């Protein structure tokens, strides 16, 4: 079962150290968040799972980490300076600013209109200004003089760093088409629309891959290219389902309508998730043709081509781009993992049912109590386990409450050390501990000597 609403997740994230509103002691900073000790682990695990699936488990994709700041001409050639805009309107009464397209889509609640049928302010029904195009890139300056020559942009996507390094990668890695270049990185967008938690933020992380293929023989009817586009849509859908454990019932593919497509695009599909407020984009998979390499080739005066050994021709490869949002995916993973169920006493048990590979903490070592007799073995177990997996040691409060705490942060396995383990009243200990499984709450006893193997068996892929 997914979380009943977003507020439940927002509150759990703060209470349990996943995500905090940024700069809270200064009254916050709209649409920005800080990732706490568990959030940073969860984010890293999702990013690693993506990296593993997109690069390490494939022969045809390599990685890149391009600089964030770059020559501003990159953003002119990519079309971002001219076209990366949102239509904004202001309310003439309350002065609130809105995205015109989001008002029309009903993203601020019921769509309201005046008697003449014009959209009105979602806040107070006031008259709206004509839409103005507002560029979403953040500008900064490089060097001490703030003139036009010093302008630089914070990247609104990771893709351009890949395109401008295409030749470097081909030459240094001796790559043959088809192949891909993957990158995960922070991106920035001056989003005006108030985001729903980390769904839409000013600063977010993306996981993007540009897959380069030989140009089709028939540009007007690129059958194989479009089939490969479909293949990537299926591959990425399967990743959300199998690796993150997202229920396929709450995933769908939405093909963009012709009028939504950029002029150069041969097709784009979004993988969408059924958020508590409705369907929303998780990842866009775009068939970008040869637009980017051609644009950078023209704008830089340095044509970007690939030499085809078979035909002995220089060609401009075509591209398929699966572009996912890491922070948005993290929110979905939290929503999906959240489960409420009755415990043995009929009380509510909250469990984050993360796949083990994704869970921020894999194992919790819990002595039954703070009794000092338990500590040497508990510490020994902790030292054995933690070189292998992210592990927590906790001895405060009752064991039942500590199990609940670990359930609520999604720890798949707890190891309990009790008096049977260490011996009591002259009876020798059995040098065994209990593994308690998060979802089934099943408990099994294993010898300390076999503990790491027993945990490994229960933590596949971790």
Among 140, 137, 101, smallest CA distance to 122 is for 101
Report if residue 204 touches ligand GAP, rule: CB under 6 A. yes
SS3 (DSSP) at 60: coil
One residue of 88, 169, 209, 282 binding ligand GAP per CB under 6 A: 282
One residue of 201, 295, 406, 416 binding ligand GAP per CB under 6 A: 201
Q: Which lies closer to ligand GAP via its Cβ, residue 163 or residue 225?
A: 163
Report if residue 323 touches ligand GAP, rule: CB under 6 A. yes
Annotate 348-385 with b (16+ C-beta within 10 A) or e (fewer): ebbbbbbbbbbbbbbbbbbbbbeeebbeebbeebbebb
Report if residue 365 touches ligand GAP, rule: CB under 6 A. no
Report if residue 394 touches ligand GAP, rule: CB under 6 A. no
Report if residue 157 touches ligand GAP, rule: CB under 6 A. yes
Q: Which lies closer to ligand GAP via its Cβ, residue 299 or residue 444?
A: 299
19: burial class by Cβ within 10 Å (0-12, 13-18, 19+)?
Answer: buried
Instruction: Report how far residue 234's alpha carbon sits from residue 253's, in angstroms, rounded to the nearest whole number.
Output: 9
Report if residue 281 touches ligand GAP, rule: CB under 6 A. yes
The answer to whether 178 touches 162, Cβ cutoff 8 Å, is no
Stretch in the footprint of ligand GAP (CB under 6 A) among 11-19, 278-286, 337-345, 419-427:
278-286
- Least CB distance to ligand GAP at residue 232 (A): 13
- Least CB distance to ligand GAP at residue 180 (A): 14
One residue of 16, 99, 175, 189 binding ligand GAP per CB under 6 A: 189
Report if residue 191 touches ligand GAP, rule: CB under 6 A. yes
Q: Which lies closer to ligand GAP via its Cβ, residue 327 or residue 411?
A: 327
CA atoms within 13 A on the CB side of 338: 19
- In the block, residue with structure tokens 């996981």: 207
Report if residue 39 touches ligand GAP, rule: CB under 6 A. no
Instruction: Report how far residue 227's alpha carbon sits from residue 225's, in angstroms, rounded to the nearest whole number.
Output: 5
Report if residue 86 touches ligand GAP, rule: CB under 6 A. no
Q: Which lies closer to ligand GAP via its Cβ, residue 126 or residue 195?
A: 195
The answer to whether 447 touches 432, Cβ cutoff 8 Å, is yes
Report if residue 267 touches ligand GAP, rule: CB under 6 A. no
Measured over all CA atoms, what is the biggest interatomic distance in the chain, rounded to whole angstroms? 89
Report if residue 283 touches ligand GAP, rule: CB under 6 A. yes
Report if residue 206 touches ligand GAP, rule: CB under 6 A. yes
One residue of 325, 356, 367, 412 binding ligand GAP per CB under 6 A: 325
The answer to whether 272 touches 253, Cβ cutoff 8 Å, is yes
Report if residue 273 touches ligand GAP, rule: CB under 6 A. no
Instruction: Report how far residue 100's alpha carbon sits from residue 209's, in angstroms, rounded to the nearest whole number.
Output: 31
Instruction: Report how far residue 210's alpha carbon sits from residue 157's, in angstroms, rounded to the nearest whole number.
Output: 12
Instruction: Report how far residue 273's alpha carbon sits from residue 2's, in angstroms, rounded to the nearest whole number.
Output: 12
- Which of positions 89-118 make contact with ligand GAP (CB under 6 A)? none
Residues in contact with ligand GAP, total (CB under 6 A)?
19
Contacts of 140 (CB under 8 A, 6+ apart): 69, 151, 152, 153, 154
One residue of 289, 295, 327, 421 binding ligand GAP per CB under 6 A: 327
Q: Residue 19 has which token pair?
A: 């995500």
Q: Which lies closer to ligand GAP via its Cβ, residue 201 or residue 295?
A: 201
- Least CB distance to ligand GAP at residue 283 (A): 5
Report if residue 181 touches ligand GAP, rule: CB under 6 A. no
Asked if the peptide bond before residue 178 counts as cis, ω within 30 degrees of 0, the response is yes
- Least CB distance to ligand GAP at residue 208 (A): 6
The answer to whether 237 touches 226, Cβ cutoff 8 Å, is no
Report if residue 448 touches ligand GAP, rule: CB under 6 A. no
161: burial class by Cβ within 10 Å (0-12, 13-18, 19+)?
Answer: buried
Report if residue 79 touches ligand GAP, rule: CB under 6 A. no
- Least CB distance to ligand GAP at residue 268 (A): 8
Please give the DSSP secondary-structure letter assigned to residue 52.
I
Q: Residue 425 has which token pair?
A: 């009243």
Report if residue 200 touches ligand GAP, rule: CB under 6 A. yes
Q: Which lies closer to ligand GAP via its Cβ, residue 180 or residue 325?
A: 325
- Which of positions 117-156 make contact with ligand GAP (CB under 6 A)? none
For binding to ligand GAP (CB under 6 A), which residues are involved?
157, 159, 189, 191, 200-201, 204, 206, 208, 281-284, 321, 323-325, 327-328
């Amino acid at each position: 079962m997914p979380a009943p609403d977003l507020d439940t997740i927002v509150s759990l994230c703060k209470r349990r150290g996943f995500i905090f509103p940024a700069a809270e002691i200064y009254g916050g900073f709209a649409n920005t968040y800080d990732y706490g000790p568990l959030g940073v682990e969860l984010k890293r695990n999702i990013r690693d799972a993506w990296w593993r699936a997109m690069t390490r488990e494939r022969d045809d994709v390599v990685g890149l980490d391009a600089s964030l700041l770059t020559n501003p001409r990159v953003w002119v050639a990519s079309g971002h300076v001219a076209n990366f805009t949102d239509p904004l309107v202001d309310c003439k009464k309350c002065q609130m600013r809105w995205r015109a397209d989001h008002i029309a889509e009903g993203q601020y609640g019921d769509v309201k209109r005046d008697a003449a049928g014009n959209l009105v302010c979602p806040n107070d029904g006031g008259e709206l200004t004509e839409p103005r195009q507002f560029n979403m890139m953040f500008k900064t300056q490089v060097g001490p003089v703030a003139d036009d020559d010093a302008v630089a942009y914070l990247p609104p996507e990771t893709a351009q760093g890949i395109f401008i390094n295409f030749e470097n990668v081909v030459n240094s890695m001796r790559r043959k088409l088809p192949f891909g270049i993957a990158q995960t990185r922070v991106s920035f967008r001056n989003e005006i629309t108030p985001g729903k938690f980390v769904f839409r933020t000013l600063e977010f992380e993306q996981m993007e891959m540009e897959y380069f293929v030989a140009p089709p023989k028939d540009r007007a009817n690129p059958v194989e290219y479009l089939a490969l586009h479909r293949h990537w849509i299926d591959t990425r859908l399967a990743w959300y389902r199998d690796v993150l454990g997202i229920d396929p019932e709450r995933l769908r593919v939405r093909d963009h309508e012709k009028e939504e497509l950029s002029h150069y695009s041969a097709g784009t599909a979004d993988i969408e998730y059924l958020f508590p407020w409705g369907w929303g984009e998780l990842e866009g998979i775009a068939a970008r043709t040869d637009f980017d390499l051609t644009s950078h080739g023209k704008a830089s005066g340095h044509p970007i081509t690939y030499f085809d050994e078979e035909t002995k021709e220089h060609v401009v490869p075509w591209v398929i781009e699966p572009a996912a949002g890491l922070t948005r995916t993290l929110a979905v993973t939290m929503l999906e993992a959240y489960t409420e169920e009755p415990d043995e006493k009929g009380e509510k048990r909250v469990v984050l049912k993360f796949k083990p590979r994704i869970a921020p903490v894999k194992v919790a070592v819990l002595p039954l109590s703070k009794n000092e007799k338990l500590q040497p073995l508990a510490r020994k177990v902790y030292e054995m386990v933690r070189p292998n997996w992210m592990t927590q040691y906790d001895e405060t409060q009752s064991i039942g409450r500590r199990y609940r705490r670990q359930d609520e942060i999604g720890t798949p396995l707890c190891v309990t050390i009790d008096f049977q383990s260490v011996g009591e009243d002259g009876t020798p200990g059995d040098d065994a501990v209990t593994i308690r499984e998060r979802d089934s709450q099943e408990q099994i006893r294993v010898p300390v000597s076999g503990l790491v193997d027993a945990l490994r068996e229960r933590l596949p892929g971790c």
